A = this chain, B = another copy of it.
């Protein structure tokens, strides 16, 4: 199991390797991303980053998130309602259950579904580049 600082360092290394500058603002954002266990949006990440590096602007948060997404170190999700939400890619691939009452996000993973997706695409002459699977659920009574 890797620590938050491990995760942040790995992301930093990925940036350096790609010739992308590691600025104070980016360090702050990488830090909050690494320690986030939820799926925060850009405004929330901005709030958190400001406690570390008060100068960070929201525009920079957005710009940096796009850079990080391009570098493959964060994933952007667009769940129903509200803006995009982010998480680091240091975990295994997974999809999401959204609790429609509480807004809670639960991660799950199903090889079978992934396989079926590939099969369906293949039969239609396609290959899956990426997918989006979200289950909007309610707690069973």
Task: Mark A residues whose CB is within 8 Å of B.
Answer: 78, 80, 97, 99-100, 106, 108, 110, 112-113, 116-117, 120-122, 124-140
Q: How far is the CB of A5 from chain B (nearest CB, A)?
A: 31
| Cross-chain contact A125 with B112 (CB below 8 angstroms) | no
Q: How far is the CB of A138 from chain B (nearest CB, A)?
A: 5
| Cross-chain contact B135 with A106 (CB below 8 angstroms) | no
- Chain copies in the assembled complex: 2
| Cross-chain contact B113 with A126 (CB below 8 angstroms) | no
Compute how far the CA of A111 lies from the CA of B86 in the bound complex, rounded to whole angstroms: 31
Residue of B110, B131, B134 near A131 (CB, 8 A) is B134
Residue of B100, B126, B139 near A135 (CB, 8 A) is B126
Asked whether A120 and B135 contact (CB < 8 A) given A97-B126, A125-B140, the answer is yes
Compute how far the CA of A54 lies from the CA of B32 in the bound complex, rounded to whole angstroms: 52
Residue of B110, B127, B134, B135 near A137 (CB, 8 A) is B127
Residue of B108, B125, B132 near A134 (CB, 8 A) is B132
Asked whether A132 and B129 contact (CB < 8 A) given A97-B121, A121-B97, A124-B106, the answer is no
Most buried by B among A120, A133, A137: A137
